[in-house]
Structure 1
Amino acid sequence: MRIAEFDRDHVLRSAMTAFRAKGYAKTTMQELVAATGLHPGSLYAAFGNKRGLLLATVDHYVQEKGVERRHRLESASPLAGLHAYLNQLVDDALQGSCLVTRTLMELAEQDEEIYLRCKVIYGELEQDLAAQLQRAREQGELADDSDIPTLTAFLQVNIQGIITFAQCRPDRALLDGVINQLMASLGPR
């Protein structure tokens, strides 16, 4: 039996676009076949089923966004890095819904594996943000008595708010103002 060869990155990016646009339930296998350019048999052979393709797509999306996030956070100034990350987040949100947020909201209650996977994903974001805030405190950009766990949760709540709000109000100037207010609220530098 011949194994189908294809560009996995292309297939996952194409599936990601489809899932981001319509969500899991409303994206049909026919739409995924059209988006990816693969025959149904090739999709099933490579990913098992539509759910398997979603899981692979989420993993790919998270890996890609994690690399981007860590790249943005790298800066001599931790708060400048955080600001750069938030700007990238807005850019992404203005391109469409977040695949992880959409998947979490649509499927987490009915699929424990997806719920646990999303929990790990948000845990990794929490670790990156906490480390960034800790560095900011160590470098004097945040007050010595800054409560890093609370500030981290504050950032995560606001990040989710920005992602959701951008879908209803895709206004870059307004979202830039929100980011500036968020950065200012972190405390004295």
Structure 2
Amino acid sequence: MARPIEFERDQVLEKAMLAFWDQGYCATSMTQLVKATKLNPGSIYAAFKSKEELFLATLDHYGEASAEKISLALKASDSPLQGIRNYFRQLAATTTNPKAQQSCLLVNTILELAHRNTKVRQRVNAHFEVIESCFRSALQAAHDSGELSADKDPTEVATFLISSIWGLRVLAGTGPAPARAEAVVSQILKLLD
């Protein structure tokens, strides 16, 4: 009889996620994953079946955490638009944080794998859609209350905002650039006026 798997799944996903985030999917070897997770290869394969399935699980771990953070940030203000403004100002501020300079794992993954791995592309797109829907809901609430101008379509603005987040996360990956990020965010937020 096989021994039951004994590890904290979220901790393993966090450690594997950091390895993939640091190296990229293709450059991360099973040896590096074993070292990062402190599991033996058999345990990794028993729990996740393959390197790709482990990677997909780390994308889910990251994507769900990101969507939760964004949702909470947008709901932290009484005003939907103020919640969006606060989120973007905080995003600009993170460009000086060395951890933020890794860019976004979802964006990195699209750039590395979208053209050659349909399953990964679909998974990342599903996470992008969840994140975009957080903004769409806030914008719809602002639209319905008259806070967002009637001539602005919440769906189109949400798509613009999520695209702007991707750009800011790539900018963060280039190194500390707080003045540039603040200037970009200032232009983004003008759309909400």
Q: What TM-score comes out, normalization by structure 2 length?
A: 0.88
Q: Superposed, which structure 2 residues align to 1:55-74 within 5 Å? A: 55-74=56-75
CA–CA distance in 2 between the matches of 1:182 and 1:116? 27
CA–CA distance in 1 between the matches of 2:89 and 2:51? 33
Equivalent of 1:142 in 148, 154, 167:
148
Per-residue deviation at 1:88? 4.5
What code does the residue aligned with 2:173 have?
A: Q
8 Å CA contact 1:21, 1:97 repeated in 2: no
Pairing 1:98–2:100 present? no
- State the SS of the aligned residue for 1:24: coil
- Measured against aligned partners, the alpha-carbon deviations of 1:131-172 in whole angstroms (never above 9, x if no partner) come to 111112223322122222221222122111111111114223
Per the alignment, residue 182 of structure 1 pairs with: 188
Number of equivalent positions? 187
CA–CA distance in 2 between the matches of 1:60 and 1:114? 14
- Measured against aligned partners, the alpha-carbon deviations of 1:59-103 in whole angstroms (never above 9, x if no partner) come to 111111111111001020111211232245443872422111111
CA–CA distance in 1 between the matches of 2:182 and 2:100? 12
Per the alignment, residue 48 of structure 2 pairs with: 47
- State the SS of the aligned residue for 1:38: coil
**Kindly tell me: are residues 87 and 10 of structure 1, through their superposed partners in 2, closer, same or farther at Cα, counting changes over 3 Å?**
farther
8 Å CA contact 2:101, 2:175 repeated in 1: no
Percent identity, please. 39
8 Å CA contact 1:13, 1:57 repeated in 2: yes
Per-residue deviation at 1:174? 2.9
Per the alignment, residue 76 of structure 1 pairs with: 78
Equivalent of 1:168 in 157, 171, 174:
174
- State the SS of the aligned residue for 1:10: helix
CA–CA distance in 1 between the matches of 2:37 and 2:89? 30
Q: What TM-score comes out, normalization by structure 1 length?
A: 0.90
Higher relative contact order (CA 8 A, sep 6+): 2
Compute the RMSD of aligned alpha carbons.
1.8
8 Å CA contact 1:18, 1:35 repeated in 2: yes
Per the alignment, residue 139 of structure 2 pairs with: 133
8 Å CA contact 1:137, 1:143 repeated in 2: yes
Gaps of 5+ in 2: none
